[in-house]
Amino acid sequence: MKCRVCQHEISPFMTFGRMPIANGFLTADKFDGEYFFELKPAFCDRCFTFQIEDQPEPELMFHDQYAFFSRTSAFMQRHFQAYGNWVRETFLDDSESFVVELGSNDGIMLEHFAGHGISHLGVEPSANVAEEARRHGVNTMVEFFGPQIAQHIVAEYGQADALMAANVMCHIPDINGIAQGASTLLKPRGVFIFEDPYLGAMIDKTTYDQIYDEHVFIFSALSVSNIFAPHGFELIDLLPQETHGGSMRYVLARTGQRQVSANVARIIAEEKSAGLDQSGTYDRFRADCEASKTRLVNLLRAEKEAHRRVVGYGATSKSTTILNYCQIGPDLIEFISDTTPIKQGKYSPGMHIPVKPYEAFTENYPDTALLFAWNHKTEIMEKESRFASSGGKWITHIGTE
Ligand code: TYD
Ligand code: ZN
């Protein structure tokens, strides 16, 4: 395969096997026609970009039945409010500002610009979540962002002061098209700010469940810097985030236009000492994934032998990788509870574990809960203290937790 960024010839360093669409929660009548592809990650030793080889067509993942709504977590609501405020205070200097967000989902961040009367536009391909954003007063167009859409936006609204994204850039295979679009869209001193799950955190904790169809890339500062340099952008700041189990916020500006924070050199040096630019690191990661799989499957088999009920907590997209890679089905996990109505009453992709409303968990506690929404651990532990105090046990696929 060719690197999606720099066209260098690369090959996958492992396979997670046959995978369905991670957010493809389905009813039983759809089992027969379920879509599968092989999930194979690769690392480019020229531009240092971590990527997956095959990705299903975007229309199979982002559509008018897209199951992921950002607003489901109270912690994430606060996070996006803080993100929006930070962008406003740091980069926007007057009420004339115009901001654009890619993959604005249900408007969870842009509403904090709309609320301040700032001209804004969300570009969101999934019609159902875009409709929810409009209900919150957020100006939204249903489109996939790219160079042409950037031109349309400039023609209609003028150039933007800030282009933002959160947990979106890692979804877009044509990253060069996005960089080109950013170049068209942004004013000379405009900034492109995005955050995504961070490769450094994933390698460190073996949280391989960040790898699934939607996440075609897992970025590092090293790779982002290499991706954007040919398009005339440089990193001017890097801000680690706790969201999604360890994310990075990347701030880019046109080269030479803005002061570069000392964070940039510091974090790039840390990435080099962690070996994020070395192929050997990914061979070790493969071995860590295999060990993690063995540990989790043994843990669940032991629970079953002891006649203990195990349920999953949070029907996350990430759980699709864990369940299918480890081949864990309803024989080991009775059901998965989730607060998202569109997922309830359906089955998990590939392994077909029933997804039930949150109340199925609280009304009849299992012996053990497998925390698939481990990235929301703090929020969930606070909310669920009664489960642990009544003897319930929490487990995750992460060995150290
Ligand atoms: P999220 O962790 O954001 O992840 P992913 O990107 O892997 O899909 O999704 C959280 C899922 O967990 C979402 O379906 C809602 C559910 N959830 C609960 O059921 N209860 C909770 O308390 C929280 C925080 C999330
Ligand atoms: Zn490359």
* Residue 270 pLDDT greater than 90, yes or no: yes
Atom of ligand 1 nearest to the CA of 343: 14
Tell me which residues have their CB closer than 6 angstroms to ligand 1.
Answer: 68, 72-73, 314-318, 338-340, 358, 373, 375-376, 379-380
Rounded Cα distance between 289 and 24, Å, is: 23
* Residue 94 pLDDT greater than 80, yes or no: no
In the prediction, which pLDDT does 199 show? Answer: 98
Mean predicted confidence (pLDDT) in 281-298: 98
* pLDDT per residue as tens digits for the range 191-249: 999 999 999 999 999 999 999 999 999 999 999 999 999 999 999 999 999 999 999 99
pLDDT more than 90, % of the chain = 92
Mean predicted confidence (pLDDT) in 139-159: 97
Rounded Cα distance between 290 and 197, Å, is: 21
In the prediction, which pLDDT does 65 show? Answer: 75
In the prediction, which pLDDT does 76 show? Answer: 87
* pLDDT per residue as tens digits for the range 95-129: 789 999 999 999 999 999 999 999 999 999 999 99
Rounded Cα distance between 137 and 81, Å, is: 15
Rounded Cα distance between 346 and 348, Å, is: 7
* pLDDT per residue as tens digits for the range 310-368: 999 999 999 999 999 999 999 999 999 999 999 999 999 999 999 999 999 999 999 99
In the reported structure, the alpha carbon of residue 7 is separated from the centroid of ligand 2 by a whole-number distance in angstroms of 6
pLDDT more than 70, % of the chain = 99
Atom of ligand 1 nearest to the CA of 337: 19
pTM, 2 dp: 0.94
Rounded to the nearest 5 degrees, what angle is found at the Cα of 123, between the Cα atoms of 182 and 134?
Answer: 150
In the reported structure, the alpha carbon of residue 130 is separated from the centroid of ligand 1 by a whole-number distance in angstroms of 19
Contact 244, 170 (CB under 8 A): no
* Residue 176 pLDDT greater than 80, yes or no: yes
Rounded to the nearest 5 degrees, what angle is found at the Cα of 63, between the Cα atoms of 168 and 142?
Answer: 70
In the prediction, which pLDDT does 122 show? Answer: 98
In the prediction, which pLDDT does 71 show? Answer: 79
Residues whose CB is under 5 A from ligand 2 (ion)?
3, 5-6, 8, 44, 46-47
The residues pairing with 338 across neighbouring beta strands, listed in sequence order, are: 357
In the prediction, which pLDDT does 286 show? Answer: 98
Residue 12's SS3 state is strand
Question: Candidates 340, 348, 362, 382: which one to mutate for ligand 1, based on the most atoms within 8 Å of Cβ?
Answer: 340
* pLDDT per residue as tens digits for the range 291-304: 999 999 999 999 99
In the prediction, which pLDDT does 57 show? Answer: 85
Ligand nearest to the CA of 2: 2
In the reported structure, the alpha carbon of residue 49 is separated from the centroid of ligand 2 by a whole-number distance in angstroms of 6
Atom of ligand 1 nearest to the CA of 23: 8
